[in-house]
Amino acid sequence: QSLLTQPPSVSAAPGQKVTIACSGSSSNIGNNYVSWYQQLPGTAPKLLIYDNDKRPSGIPDRFSGSKSGTSATLGITGLLTGDEADYYCGTWDRSLSAVVFGGGTKLTVL
Amino acid sequence: EVQLLESGGGLVQPGGSLRLSCAASGFTLTSDAMSWVRQAPGKGLEWVSAISGGGATTYYAESVKGRFSISRDNSKNTLYLQMNSLRGEDTAVYFCAKDPRGGLEFFDKWGRGTLVTVSS
């Protein structure tokens, strides 16, 4: 069971907006930066968001991140069928002295 | 272009050993910390181990501590993961990932992964 809790699945129609929550605690999200990764079927994870809300070059501004207290949120607007993937949050946990990931959220674009 | 290419995976019996490699190109391995992250079939991501840019500091998940060892050969620009006393629960795709700030805060490049299957 992951220390970071994500919903197993979310869905929305093309063109719509979706948010994916990631809930943690003071030992992880509450005191560290959060990152988000997209994993398309059969491929390696890809960095979408780092430092809670920053996008690497090449990531469209349809993807956004935010953090409040011990929770973080990934937002995706203007959904495309190509956005169908698994999404993971990640951060450092000071109690475990380890990187922790959420269990992942499967996005379906209906 | 930054690229990471893992190799060394395969089928191994419980209790056996395997060494994974991650060849880096497009950047110098010593400039960044590196990690190994694994993904069991149909499961989520699990961080396994990390090594600092200089190679002096290493970190391990509790699940592999004492069994796995991370290292790097800067002359070959290659990262390694020595895995001993393998168990069925170690079956996974193993990815190497680049940590640009060295703080284990995020990974900006990932390899395609190599599959390790532990089974008799």
The answer to whether A65 and A73 are in contact (CB under 8 A) is yes
Residue A56, chain B, CB below 8 Å: the answer is yes
Read off φ and ψ for residue B20, nearest 5 degrees.
-95, 150
pLDDT attached to residue B77:
92
Residues of A within 8 A of B112 (CB-CB) are 43-44
Residue A7, chain B, CB below 8 Å: the answer is no
Distance CA A82, CA A103 (A): 21
pLDDT attached to residue B66:
97
**DSSP for residue B6:** E
- Across the interface, do B106 and A32 touch by the CB < 8 Å criterion? no
Q: How many helices (H) and strands (E) does chain A have?
A: 0, 9
Point out which residues pair with B32 in neighbouring strands: none
Q: How many residues does chain B have?
A: 120
Give the pLDDT confidence of A12-65 residue by residue, as tens digits: 999 999 999 999 999 999 999 999 999 999 999 999 999 999 999 999 999 999
Mean pLDDT, chain B, rounded, equals: 95
Q: Report angle CA B79, B82, B84 to the nearest 5 degrees.
A: 165
Residue B49, chain A, CB below 8 Å: the answer is no
